[in-house]
Chain A
Amino acid sequence: MLAAVHLWQPFNEFVFMRRALLGGLVLACSTAPLGVFLILRRMSLIGDAVAHGILPGAALGFWFAGLSLPALTFGGLGAGLSMAGLAAWITRRTGLREDASLAAIYPISLASGVLILGIAGKRLDLLHLLFGSALAVDGPTLTGMLWVSGFSLIAMTLIYKPLLLDTLDPLFLRTVSRLGPIAHGVFLTLVVLNLVIGFQAIGALMVVGLMMLPAAASRFWSRRLPMLIAISTVIGSLSVWFGLLLSFYYSLPSGPAIVLVAGVGYLLSVVFGPVHGLLRRPPLLTSQ
């Protein structure tokens, strides 16, 4: 009973904790399908590239407009999309492998973001930008998170079928429909939007963990796509809840606390998951 009180008390007592919880939960709902599709599309590294790319954009936004939500958001959005686009462009034009191209973009983004913050006078706490702070979720940020999450869920519902077929069999889809590239474009935009809106609460480098870890963990629990998305949402939501509690009781930064709880969920799934988990026998790969 006492433990149950501890699970809710901080949220009952402090408005900023309630805001962080609500923001984190809606973010976990909207990032779950994105993470699952990123893995299915073998684009897991894109999330990282975008998350790193957000940093110099948000720093530039801060430099020119101060601590304003639209400046940080649009700066992050523009830079995140540019960095992912630059990596894709280099791959297409030079034939450099995509993972190498993305890996080259990370340090450039991170270094330029940190340098811009240095030039801007260090008034913006670098740790908060990188790793998040529950205190950063004020009213306007929470409203932004609700809008982005709602928009994401509606857009994902609309592009679900073409995105599914474009992921499984793009050649077939391209012969029956022109929706493949549109679904891909909308999907990438949603990934960037969610990472940008999440970076203030969870941190630019940590929000990608909330997107990818529950998605990677869900793969050990089901072979059906809707179930993967549902399980990923549950793991993400529990990570936000328990991560915020950890952050509150032990005075830890909220982003790493949330991501570490998601990491524990992932490791437990690897060991105990019924689909290819370490403790399960390998499944029958072919029918007899």
Chain B
Amino acid sequence: MIRCQSLSWGAPGQPLTATLNLELESGSLTAIIGANGCGKSSLLKVIAGLQKPLAGRVSLSVPRQSGLSFLPQQQHLDRQFPISLEELIAAGFWGRRLSTQLRAQRLKDALDNWHLSGLERRPLMALSGGELQRALLARLSLTDAPVLLLDEPHAALDELGQQLLWQHLHAWHNEGRTLVVVCHDLAAVRQHIPQTLLIKNRECVYGASVELIQQTSHTKVA
């Protein structure tokens, strides 16, 4: 469970919204939507413990270090960094003791699941944006964390990549994991994500995605 109590976030002295009180049940799948600069990614970072809130608190029913995993936006990554795609994905095993055989098997499964087989040795700088995004999602899948926070997971993905993403999001949801997804694709949110937190005009509204997002609203916010 994720509980936000009287939460306020943003730059010092400039909170992005009115205070937020929100409780997300364990096993829920929630989207955060809103225009650019409204504070979606910042809220996700506050929940992940990567950014301090201005006021209030976030409590989780799982320990932060082992129970939570975060998918950052790929522009945070240095594309010139001298490691291979396989090494990037294997970072998902961080802090876990697995036999070499099990690690190899799980790594192979992750590569297959995200259609990355054959690219294992490729350096980051030689990957397309979509391949890198799938690699980050594959790394996330290896963490086995019960709470997953995803910042724009659909970015740079083509149609096939988006299909893979939604398949995996539903699979993780069905496994009972708690997911919070920052997403700009309102049509996809309406179709795939049952609950939504809408940030608009410095106010937060939480409710069913089908009610908050109009059927005709297929325009992307950004």
Contacts and interface: CB of A to CB of B under 8 A. Distances in A.
B12 interface: no
A283 interface: yes
A175 B126 contact: no
B75 to A, nearest CB: 11
A168 B50 contact: no
Interface in B51-87: 64-66, 68-70, 72, 76-78, 81-84
Contact of B126 (A219, A225, A284): A284
A287 interface: yes
A287 B126 contact: yes
Given A223-B123, A228-B82, A177 B131 contact: no
Contacts of B65: 175-178
Contact of A224 (B66, B68, B82, B128): B82
Given A174-B50, A222-B82, A168 B77 contact: yes
A231 to B, nearest CB: 11
Nearest to B94: A176
B134 to A, nearest CB: 12
Contacts of B123: 223-224
B125 interface: yes
Interface in A160-180: 164-165, 167-178
A286 B49 CA distance: 34
A104 B78 CA distance: 27
B125 A285 contact: yes
Interface residues of B, number: 33
A156 interface: no
A177 B78 contact: no
Contacts of B69: 172, 175-176
A176 B143 CA distance: 9
A170 B49 CA distance: 13
A40 interface: yes
A40 B81 CA distance: 7
Interface in B168-202: none
Interface in B121-151: 122-123, 125-128, 131, 139, 143, 149
Contacts of A286: 126-128
A245 to B, nearest CB: 32
B24 interface: no
B119 interface: yes
A40 B64 CA distance: 28
B81 A168 contact: yes
Contacts of B49: 174-175
A15 to B, nearest CB: 40
A171 B128 contact: no
Interface string A264-288: 0000000000000000000111110
Contacts of A178: 65
B95 interface: yes
B157 interface: no
A253 to B, nearest CB: 34
B91 interface: yes
Nearest to A174: B50
A175 B83 contact: no
Contacts of B66: 176
B84 A224 contact: yes
A36 to B, nearest CB: 9
Contact of A175 (B68, B119, B122, B125): B68
Nearest to B83: A225
B70 to A, nearest CB: 4
A104 to B, nearest CB: 25
Nearest to B127: A287
A287 B82 contact: no
Given A40-B78, A222-B82, A169 B72 contact: yes
A284 B119 CA distance: 14
A224 B85 CA distance: 11
Interface string A70-114: 000000000000000000000000000000000000000000000
B98 to A, nearest CB: 15
A178 B64 CA distance: 10
Given A176-B65, A284-B126, 12 more contacts: A40-B82, A169-B72, A172-B139, A175-B48, A175-B65, A175-B69, A176-B95, A219-B82, A222-B82, A224-B84, A228-B82, A287-B128
16 contacts: A169-B72, A171-B45, A171-B72, A172-B69, A172-B70, A172-B91, A173-B94, A174-B49, A175-B68, A176-B65, A177-B94, A178-B65, A283-B125, A283-B126, A287-B126, A287-B131
Interface of A: 40, 164-165, 167-178, 219, 222-225, 228, 283-287
